[in-house]
Chain A
Amino acid sequence: MKLRLRLVSLSAPLIALMLAVSLTSLILLGIGKDPIETFRMMFEYGSTGKSIVSVLNRTTPLYISAVAVAVGFKMGLFNIGVEGQYLLGALLAAAIGTSFAISRPIHIFFIMLIAVVASSLWAAIAGYLKVYKGIHEVISTIMLNYIGTGLIAYLLSNIFFDKDEKNAIPQTVELPESGRLPALNNLFGIEDLPNLHGFLPITILLGLIYYLLIWKTTLGYDLRVTGANPIAARFSGVDPKRLTIIAMIISGGFAGLVGMGPLLGYFHQYTIDFPPGLGFAGIGVALLGRNHPVGMFLGAILFGFLERSAQILDLRGVPKEIETMMSAFILLIVVVFYEIIRRYILTQQIKDASKKIGEN
């Protein structure tokens, strides 16, 4: 693709951001707040060192969640169930991870493995239902989210709860020291800031794995081809049933790692307030980043930043929910603009090609 067209394709998220800012400003004006002052406050608060660490901590699980969703998206499969998958994986990993203690790297590896296996099996149910029962994955993954929530509540309060804890809040036993991931502050010389959680490098590695998987392997080629034209994919020897289940398992596997940053980094146990909502937020990030490893990273940072920087607003008399609105605007506008620009680029490519053929 020509450089010009590449630049055009990058403009969509920027246009969406600008339009979303304008729309948000209009709403702010409507409720009698000064938009410029509001955004200034947000930016000022969001760019403090403390906030940047918080944004990065928030970005890691969000990014992995987006990757999990993107694996499905690439083959036209909508895994809306990352939410239930990562929570269930995190609970099982937290519960089983306390039952043994070995050297740290192995311990952490096993905890992650439990989460990955649990989440991917849970996701595989949706794959099975789609392939053998013809139930659309959007319906089944959403239903499985509710079922998962109930199951987690049951397991947490009846089986995995910390029996020594007199506290009424159900929670698992804390992970031993060997099952915790140290913070990275020493590495970057930022001891004076809050903890920068240790999952960040693993997250970047996962992004790389995702890239290689989708663009450099036959499996990834099959996924992309199926997403673009399932019929042609089938004629090329893709077994759509098998691939659907594999994609759900891989997607669920990534989903299992979503909760690992919080679990290994700072929660060290599963409690009823283990951070929810990362699965749904990941869908937005995947859409914003167009399933591209770098795009999704930027998207995760943007959403992380907005959420963090909005924390200041309530203190200054602006409802912080304005941020939820703004994120939603960005999302809705960006999907529209991606489509407009996709079509524009397509016609440009066709025009360029026919012009060149004409010249020869």
Chain B
Amino acid sequence: MNKAITVSNITKSYPGVLANSNVSLEVSEGSIHAIVGENGAGKSTLMKILYGMVKPDDGSISIFEKITQLSSPKDAIDSGLGMVHQHFMLADNLSVLESVILGIDNATLKNINLRRYKSEIMEVINKYNLNINLDKTIDELGVGEKQRVEILKVLFRGAKILILDEPTAVLVPQEVEELFNNLRDLKDNGVTIIFISHKLDEVLEIADEISVMRGGVMVNTVDSENISKKELAEMMIGKSLPKPPERQSSVGDLKILSVENLSASNDDGKDIFNDITFDLQSSEILGIAGVEGNGQRELVEAIIGIQEYNSGSIRLKDEIIDDLGIRERLGLGISFIPEDRQAQALIMDMTLTNNIILGRQSLKKYKTKLTTVNLSNATTASESVIGNFDVKTPNANTIATALSGGNQQKYVVGRELEDNPTLLIASQPTRGIDIGAQALIWEKLRSTRDDGLGVILISADLEELIGLSDRIVVIYQGNFVAELKPDEITPEILGSYMTGLRK
């Protein structure tokens, strides 16, 4: 069979990191080829090189058996490559049609022939069964639909090779199934697909061939028919896959938090969440499962006081906290790990020590007599977090930007656990970080829970949710639709509740 892509001996190094070392890869035309590896294995760098975004130090690339120089995404597009990024490259304010044709015409003052484009695009949509409405604006679309727009974008540009970077990270199992059906349609029409992932089940299901990367090196390429998940995992990380440790549930009897009939609506009067009632005990991790945008984010933000609610009541231990501001609630012992550490939990160009005060401004120990900021206590606390959470940093006076994502996250988790909180709200606590940091955070969450902490956990990683939680509630369109026992369910079952297929 002809080769769609041949990568020969690519090497790329960054200061202090060898991202790709002598990497070679062959992808057959019309196949689905997966590349697996954990974060930092060098997959993204390889893809950026393929897509002309990064120039390799050494090595060559052939596309359809022709040596090709790729010095910009435009070169890659011209030679038939198309990339679907993990973060959608879509502008909310543009229409689907505009998003698809953006950049196809040269930047001139000629009239855009919208009607002609529309019929041409409809042909592509029909050919691959894509189910997209061209007249909507992007912000009206759901996640799966946005992804289809991304695929349409590259197909319409005549891509014969499709690179998908972690395409399932944002999807629930049912959407994944729909995506896979689309991918099979594409393959049947002769499109070559490169599928980057670290989810081995999915890779085994969809891929014809699988290449494994580890530490910047291409470890092996195997046929997906002839390999088991376990073997694949061992190739990928050199040992077996991490999973949250086994549950030993020991829920306490002290009521930490009780939420009663909580409802909130947005400015247009549309419900965000509706009549939510639940309790949280000490030494309990309550998982909230839901597809993004179903109200779970707003619900936890209501608990810390960011989201306003129209009715209902929140009680922390014995105290009703409805009338308290965010700072007062945090002062009562609520800790919060927001989903986006860089945007929400850290001041990136401040030092770690300055960051430890963030969210703890009202805490006595960070103040002196004249209500000034007490930097010496902050330094002590900061150093203790660095030590306890194995944060890799030169010292406590390093600015947060200088740390890797995993270390930033460990520092945030450490800070939120530093002052013996009563309640911890953890939103996506291990998203996008390396396996080592993930394991450490899991262990810390678990051990502080054992010490009596009540935890509310939100995670898109359903394995994590099931593995860590003592109890799981499912939120769908702003309502709690199910309460489940983690040891009785699988991600697939959970997914069907989350998408409203099962009630």
Contacts and interface: CB of A to CB of B under 8 A. Distances in A.
A232 B394 contact: no
B285 interface: no
A32 interface: no
Interface residues of B, number: 41
B405 to A, nearest CB: 13
B360 to A, nearest CB: 8
A353 interface: yes
Interface string A289-300: 000000000000
Contacts of B327: 236-239
Interface stretch (B71-79, B86-94, B396-404, B492-500): B396-404
Contacts of A237: 325-331, 359, 361-362
Interface in B310-342: 325-331, 336, 338
B394 A357 contact: yes
A353 B398 contact: yes
A236 B16 CA distance: 34
Contact of A234 (B326, B347, B361, B399): B326
Given A350-B401, A357-B394, A235 B373 contact: no
A229 B392 CA distance: 24
Contact of A356 (B326, B360, B394): B394
A283 to B, nearest CB: 23
A354 interface: yes
A11 interface: no
B48 interface: no
Nearest to A351: B15
A236 B361 contact: yes
A47 interface: no
B358 A239 contact: no
Interface in A333-360: 346, 349-358, 360
* Size category of the binding interface on chain A: 20 to 34
B371 A217 contact: yes
Contact of B393 (A215, A351, A353): A353
B402 A349 contact: yes
B402 A225 contact: no
A225 B15 contact: no
A221 interface: yes
Contacts of B362: 218, 237
B359 A218 contact: no
Contact of A232 (B358, B370, B402, B403): B358
A231 interface: yes
Interface in A221-279: 221-222, 224-225, 228-229, 231-232, 234-239
Contacts of A358: 16
Interface in A22-73: none
B344 A231 contact: yes
Contact of A353 (B304, B346, B350, B402): B402
B67 interface: no
Among A216, A225, A232, the most chain B Cβ lie within 10 Å of the Cβ of A232
A357 B361 contact: no
B348 interface: yes
B345 to A, nearest CB: 6
Nearest to B398: A353
B349 interface: yes
B326 A232 contact: no
B107 interface: no
Contacts of A360: 392
Nearest to B343: A231
Contacts of A222: 361
B119 interface: no
A357 B386 CA distance: 13
Contacts of A236: 326-327, 330, 358-361
A216 B372 CA distance: 5
A31 to B, nearest CB: 40
Contacts of A346: 349, 399, 401
B297 to A, nearest CB: 12
Given A217-B372, A234-B306, A237-B330, A353 B403 contact: yes
Nearest to A348: B402
Interface of B: 15-16, 304, 306, 325-331, 336, 338, 343-350, 354, 357-362, 367, 370-373, 392-394, 398-399, 401-403
16 contacts: A215-B373, A216-B372, A216-B373, A221-B361, A228-B348, A231-B343, A232-B343, A232-B358, A235-B304, A236-B359, A238-B361, A239-B326, A349-B398, A351-B15, A353-B393, A357-B394
* 7 closest A-B pairs by CB: A237-B327, A353-B402, A356-B394, A236-B359, A216-B372, A237-B326, A350-B402
Given A221-B361, A238-B361, A358-B16, 12 more contacts: A212-B372, A220-B373, A228-B349, A229-B347, A232-B345, A232-B347, A232-B358, A237-B330, A238-B327, A239-B326, A352-B402, A354-B16
